[in-house]
Structure 1
Amino acid sequence: MPDQIRALVEGGKATAGPPLGPALGPLGVPIPKVIAAINEKTKEFAGMQVPVIVKVKKDRTFEVEVGTPPVSALIKKELNLEKASGNPKAEKVANMLIEQAIKIAKMKEAVLLSNDLRGAVKTVVGSCVSMGILVEGKDAKEALKLIDSGEFDVKIRAGKTELTKEELAKLEQEKLALAEATKKAREQAEKKAQEIMEKMTGRERSEIKAALKEAGIPADIIQKLLPVEAAAAPGAAPAAGAPAAGGAAPKAEEKKAPEKKTGEKK
């Protein structure tokens, strides 16, 4: 059974330093050759952390097995996204073409629980639902229905993954437009929330929060404008009868037992 070294490396940028170098040294393999093999196999994942396994045999020959980053990481890399949407139902952050979904599906096909490329593509598109990403300009759930109906069968069967410069440029423009639309929508939501809160001045927090939810205000905006009551400032005396921060209401002062005089029998 060969020795196995497992590590997480940046795609195309593995080095002879930790964690690989110190682990490979005692096994007697040519470390520069191992590093070169890893970088060649992981270069398509530049900028991402990639799991690798180096198997070293008794004759000091080696094999490199490369895993792939999670689907969500591959989607963000493909679309040049820093993060997914924090409110995926209402706020979309990018649009993905079916060719890009096919490209990611082919990277992950071996480990995805699907019987064919079409199923792998559906898994990728399904991940877009929770990330706030459109697919072919449509909600990801709608795109899944189109895949089931055969809308993209020709491209999927062909394994088409190439995009033109014009298509890529258009996707970037759409991403900027979505970001601007999200910004305006959030500004409008905050303004609406402020109006509701002003009308409900003096009402219980729970009532105000319920009204904001009913009006469709995003949860993070509600939290921002209606934070949980802050604890009393350090050193400040609580109001009469008010519970101490994080504790129960103070108990009534207990009467002290009379002190026994010296020599008094117990």
Structure 2
Amino acid sequence: MASKGRRLAQGAMAGKKAMEKKSKEVQYLKTIIPCGMAAAAPPLGPQLGQLGVPIASFCREFNEKTNHFKPGIPMRTQITVNPDRSYKIDMISPPSTYFLKQAAGIQKAAMKGGDEVSGKISLKHLYEIAKIKSDDPGFAGMSLEKVCKCLIGTARTCGIKIVPSLDVEEYKEFLTQRLEWVKEEEKRLEELRQAKMLRL
């Protein structure tokens, strides 16, 4: 029993030392926070709490820094936390998928993959998005052509087709039909899920 007690005490001491060492190091957190909507609720609140960041102060500062963006835009954010609990907020433009879906006028990407087309964007859209994303650290040193190629790959995974140009009326009709199909597909998947639960 005494031996077991010593082992527990040693384990607790090792954990305490690890925490003390961690508190003396610069720590980083990479996350996505909606513009103007940082809040203490999970998942952000607990993440900041583990790093010792004053949550209310952080949320206020982040929301002030992003108040010129449309509320809810997903902003990729890196938080650098110093040993004294001071912090620095670095924001990178939203994910490529956000820009692609916005340009295509859709909320949901392809549900099945393969040849499913969830939306379309023009080459002009692609070029404009590439110009924005070229400032991201992940694309540093890349030519605009290479950034476009990366975006084409991302668009393909989302089911977004890139075309030379778009006819506004034809595309409106496409989006209407697509929305109806998505609703029917979601209904079908929900029915399958319910049926599976009944079999359990």
TM-score (norm 1): 0.43
Return 5+ residue gaps in structure 1 as ranges: 139-169, 187-219, 221-233, 235-266
Q: Which of 87, 92, 116 is residue 143 of structure 2 equivalent to?
A: 116
* Matches of 1:42 and 1:104, distance apart in 2: 22
- The match for 2:90 is 65
Tell me, yes or no, if structure 1 residue 178 matches structure 2 residue 153: no
- The match for 1:24 is 48
1:176-214 CA distance string (max 9 Å, x none): 13346879xx9xxxxxxxxxxxxxxxxxxxxxxxxxxxx
- The match for 1:191 is none
Instruction: Please state how far the C-alpha of 1:33 moved relative to its aligned partner.
Output: 3.5
The alignment-based identity, stated in percent, is 23
* Matches of 1:87 and 1:18, distance apart in 2: 31
Q: Note the 1:53-92 alignment, pairs <5 A.
A: 53-85=78-110, 89=115, 91=117
* Matches of 2:118 and 2:51, distance apart in 1: 50
- The match for 2:165 is 137
Give the length in aligned residue pairs.
153
Return 5+ residue gaps in structure 2 as ranges: 1-24, 186-198
Give the number of the structure whose residues are more often strand, by fraction: 2
- The match for 1:3 is 27
Instruction: Please state how far the C-alpha of 1:64 moved relative to its aligned partner.
Output: 1.3
* Matches of 1:136 and 1:34, distance apart in 2: 44
Larger RCO, structure (CA 8 Å, separation 6 or more): 2
- The match for 2:121 is 95
Q: Which of 50, 59, 63 is residue 35 of structure 1 equivalent to?
A: 59
**Preserved contact between residue 114 and residue 120 of structure 1 (Cα < 8 Å):** no
**Preserved contact between residue 35 and residue 69 of structure 2 (Cα < 8 Å):** yes
RMSD: 4.0
Give the number of the structure whose residues are more often helix, by fraction: 2
- The match for 1:251 is none
**Preserved contact between residue 104 and residue 119 of structure 2 (Cα < 8 Å):** no
1:86-106 CA distance string (max 9 Å, x none): 5775857333351x3234224
* Matches of 1:120 and 1:5, distance apart in 2: 26
* Matches of 2:131 and 2:47, distance apart in 1: 31
* Matches of 1:27 and 1:115, distance apart in 2: 34
Larger Rg: 1
* Matches of 1:182 and 1:20, distance apart in 2: 34
> AA paired with 1:133?
K
1:164-185 CA distance string (max 9 Å, x none): xxxxxx74x34213346879xx
* Matches of 1:126 and 1:70, distance apart in 2: 14
* Matches of 2:142 and 2:84, distance apart in 1: 38
TM-score (norm 2): 0.54
